[in-house]
Amino acid sequence: MASSRREAATQSNYEEAWATHAALEWTIDFEKQQIRGRVRYVVESSGVGVSEFVVDTNGGLRIHRALVNGRVVSPKLGVPHPIFGTAVAVPVGSEVVFEYETGTACAAAQWLEPEQTADGKFPYLFTQCQAIHCRSLIPIQDVPGVKLTWEARVEKPAWATVLMSGLEEKETDSWRQPRRVSPYLIAIVCARVEARDVSPRCRVWAEPSVVERAASEFADAETYVERAEEATGVAYQWDRYDLVCLPPSFPYGGMENVNLTFVTPTLLAGDKSLANVVAHEVAHSWFGNLVTNATWAHFWLNEGWTRWLERQISGVPVDFDISRSRAALTECVEHFPRPELTALVPPLRGVDPDDAFSIVPYEKGSGLLHYIEHLVGKDRFREFVRSYLGRFEDGVVTSEDFKNFAVENLLGSSSEDIDWDAWFHAPGNLPQTYALDTSLTVAVDEAAAAFPWVPACSYFSWPTALKLAYLERLLLLEKCEKDDLQALDAALGLTATPNAEIRFRWCRLLLSSGVDRGVDLALDFVTSNGRMKFVRPLYKALAAAPIPGALAAAKKTFKDHYAFYHPICRKMITSDLLRGGYNLAL
Ligand SMILES: CC/C=C\C/C=C\C[C@@H](O)/C=C/C=C/C=C\[C@@H](O)CCCC(=O)O
Ligand SMILES: [Zn+2]
């Protein structure tokens, strides 16, 4: 495998021969928990000397037959790699077909039994391909630098609806993505779901018992799309913006699958207070989906830009949000198990992207963009955003591309004020900062400093972001007394909160302070949702809590609920606990 490919987390030869279009034909088999079918690629190559077309596979995906320009060929399988899977090579041709079935270790798919869904009546399938799981769903050149159009025909049970990250063509009963997208953005849901329109171009899907709540929680999707168009100066390029609210085991807050954002039901707080995640996913329609990181080492160009745009459209005061992010980043870089991966452009050679994932690309990435914006002024930065999108739309970018474009089109000699090397390559915290407007943070800082005094009156008047900031300040205190936490709960109703973000911080506060009843509350939380942002830190907190029996309870719960979690989440909790030195045996 060429070294550049190892860094790109692919074993394919995408720089020599690459697919420009994929036509999928799938049968969804809930009984066997398997997708069977074929993919037909239109392939181009860089020319003479290129003899093979090489794709990635993983998770036990089995190719039955391969055809090149209509002729059956024998695919050549590479040596299986524990992270990157098995490369499959065929002679290069303008049309390549693979007939295949997914394997039992398909990390992209979660097959839920009826009892794992909200309605409890039908099974449910959803996929999550970011970062390198598409190869367990499709034999594909699984790297963001390959951008291709696709179409799909899917056979499914009569009771189910299929949703895909593209546009539905009712006349031909198929799906298509007419714009070039990276493989990690291919996604499917096959389930009993219903929809409510929240605007002419936005529709919210969910299981029947959830759909009303989901539609009202995410009713502002259209507003976010319009604000993002205004903030970027670039119209929404994808036609529809729909959302599907998934069952609770969905491992992320949201995933920006094109035309169809996937969201966790942990956003259903009842008051739209967690809908900033929708603003984030909408923002990916410009950054990530339209202009895409060339490889996962440049993930900050997806997430940092998206955080920047999210802050322009979410309605949360920008400096206040940045100040919370700075605190979270400080905590992250102090505790991340592999410090070298806290560089903005991390050395990913041979690394599983799931292991490298953290808030660094989000918060250090947006930190760099806000820093540049602060240097040049908002108006010039806005103009730059528009020209950047125009220059790279439908393409991919590296950090070097970004820097060169910024120097040429925005910074000129002010580029010297930016320590590019530290920003890109130094592990750790933000290398350069500027002063923020702290008027909103003062209130929570003062309230937290006065703990165990409880700011009951102000707390209820605070928007959710301030409430969360207050709890985050309390988490920084050494240890709180049990009685003080009891009084805090009695005044603020923390145990009973319907808000998952508040509940998460409350569980952590109880566990880090060694309060027994935190164990049951946390166990209840980690068995009711599988969002990794919540369950990974809570399993770690349970394992480390100074409470007798907490570790044993955490291990037993994880074992008993293993099937509830998404394959990626199972993998990450297992490695978190092992890395923490906890023997997983009961
Ligand atoms: C520098 C890191 C290198 C590669 C990481 C790329 C992908 C990592 C992979 O683990 C997938 C991540 C998917 C994230 C999807 C949504 C997030 O924005 C959710 C954030 C947490 C949450 O809100 O639940
Ligand atoms: Zn994102």
Whether residue 560 is found in the same domain as residue 481: yes
Position 287 pLDDT exceeds 80: yes
Kindly state the average pLDDT of the residues 322-347: 98
Whether residue 198 is contained in a domain is answered as no
Quote the CA–CA distance of 469 and 419 in Å, as a whole number.
30
Ligand 1 atom 23: residue of nearest CA: 253
Which atom of ligand 1 is nearest the CA belonging to 531? Answer: 24
Look at residue 586 in the predicted model and tell me its pLDDT.
83
Pocket mutation for ligand 1, best pick of 282, 285, 296, 538 (most atoms within 8 Å of C-beta): 296
User: Residue 241 is which amino acid?
Assistant: Y
CATH number at residue 529: 1.25.40.320
Q: What is the 3-state secondary structure (H, E, C) of 184-234?
A: HHCCEEEECCEEEEEECCEEEEECCCCHHHHHHHCCCHHHHHHHHHHHHCC
pLDDT per residue as tens digits for the range 361-387:
999 999 999 999 999 999 999 999 999
Whether residue 463 is found in the same domain as residue 573: yes
Closest CA relative to residue 94, chosen from 186, 20, 176: 20
Q: What is the 3-state secondary structure (H, E, C) of 328-351?
A: HHHHHHHHCCCHHHHCCCCCCCCC
CATH number at residue 311: 1.10.390.10
What's the gap in Å between 37 CA and the centre of ligand 2?
31
Whether residue 484 is contained in a domain is answered as yes
Q: Of 394, 425, 456, at which residue does a domain stop? A: 425
**Kind and range of the H or E run holding 227:** helix 221-232
Whether residue 297 is found in the same domain as residue 413: yes
Selected catalytic residue, list 362, 388, 539, 565: 362
130 among annotated binding-site residues: yes
pLDDT per residue as tens digits for the range 92-131:
999 999 999 999 999 999 999 999 999 999 999 999 999 9
Whether residue 569 is found in the same domain as residue 461: yes
Position 3 pLDDT exceeds 50: no
Residue 29 bridge partners (DSSP): 34
Selected catalytic residue, list 281, 310, 363, 373: 281
Whether residue 468 is found in the same domain as residue 571: yes
Whether residue 331 is found in the same domain as residue 451: no
Look at residue 7 in the predicted model and tell me its pLDDT.
81
Whether residue 524 is found in the same domain as residue 567: yes
ipTM of the complex: 0.98
Give me the residue label for tokens 């699958």.
257
pLDDT per residue as tens digits for the range 10-42:
999 999 999 999 999 999 999 999 999 999 999
Kindly state the average pLDDT of the residues 159-183: 97
251 among annotated binding-site residues: yes
Position 1 pLDDT exceeds 80: no
Whether residue 391 is contained in a domain is answered as yes
64 among annotated binding-site residues: no
Position 6 pLDDT exceeds 80: no
Whether residue 463 is found in the same domain as residue 566: yes
8 Å CB contact between 370 and 433: no
Whether residue 330 is contained in a domain is answered as yes
Maximum pairwise Cα distance, the chain: 77
Owning domain of residue 516: 444-579
531 among annotated binding-site residues: yes
230 among annotated binding-site residues: no
Kindly state the average pLDDT of the residues 237-247: 98
Q: Residue 280: nearest ligand to its CA?
A: 2
**Residue 281 catalytic?**
yes
Look at residue 217 in the predicted model and tell me its pLDDT.
98
Q: Residue 356: nearest ligand to its CA?
A: 1
Position 540 pLDDT exceeds 60: yes
Buried b (16+ CB within 10 A) or exposed e, 190-220: bbbbbbbebeebbbbbbbeebbebbbbbbbb
Residue 148 bridge partners (DSSP): 181
**Which residues are found with C-beta within 5 Å of the ion, ligand 2?**
303, 306
What's the gap in Å between 578 CA and the centre of ligand 1?
21
Residues with Cβ within 8 Å of 433's Cβ and at least 6 positions away in sequence, in order, are 326, 367, 371
Sheet holding 194-199, edge to edge: 194-199, 202-206, 242-245, 260-263, 254-255
pLDDT per residue as tens digits for the range 552-584:
999 999 999 999 999 999 999 999 999 999 999
Position 267 pLDDT exceeds 80: yes
pLDDT per residue as tens digits for the range 336-354:
999 999 999 999 999 999 9
What's the gap in Å between 68 CA and the centre of ligand 1?
36
Quote the CA–CA distance of 200 and 171 in Å, as a whole number.
20
Whether residue 150 is contained in a domain is answered as no
pLDDT per residue as tens digits for the range 53-102:
999 999 999 999 999 999 999 999 999 999 999 999 999 999 999 999 99
Whether residue 405 is found in the same domain as residue 458: no
Closest CA relative to residue 83, chosen from 5, 161, 188: 5
Whether residue 331 is found in the same domain as residue 406: yes
Give me the residue label for tokens 């692919």.
10
Q: Residue 530: nearest ligand to its CA?
A: 1
Look at residue 54 in the predicted model and tell me its pLDDT.
98
**Residue 151 catalytic?**
no
Position 333 pLDDT exceeds 50: yes
Q: Of 391, 425, 459, at which residue does a domain stop? A: 425
Quote the CA–CA distance of 50 and 440 in Å, as a whole number.
59
User: Residue 320 is which amino acid?
Assistant: F
Whether residue 307 is contained in a domain is answered as yes
Q: Average model confidence (pLDDT) for the chain?
A: 97
- Supply the angle between the helices 500-512 and 464-476 in degrees, to the nearest 10: 10
Whether residue 566 is found in the same domain as residue 455: yes
Whether residue 310 is contained in a domain is answered as yes
Quote the CA–CA distance of 352 and 131 in Å, as a whole number.
9
pLDDT per residue as tens digits for the range 444-487:
999 999 999 999 999 999 999 999 999 999 999 988 999 999 99
Query: Ligand 1: which residues within 6 Å by Cβ?
Result: 130-131, 252-255, 296, 299, 346, 353-354, 356-357, 361, 531, 533
Whether residue 14 is contained in a domain is answered as no
Look at residue 51 in the predicted model and tell me its pLDDT.
98
Q: Is 221 helix (H, G, I), strand (E, B) or coil?
A: helix
Closest CA relative to residue 58, chosen from 131, 149, 146: 131
Whether residue 398 is found in the same domain as residue 500: no
8 Å CB contact between 572 and 538: no
What's the gap in Å between 306 CA and the centre of ligand 2?
6
Residue 199 bridge partners (DSSP): 202
What's the gap in Å between 353 CA and the centre of ligand 1?
9
For residue 419, count other CB atoms closer than 10 A to its CB.
Answer: 12
Q: Of 425, 455, 478, at which residue does a domain stop? A: 425
Quote the CA–CA distance of 433 and 368 in Å, as a whole number.
9
Domains: count for the chain:
2
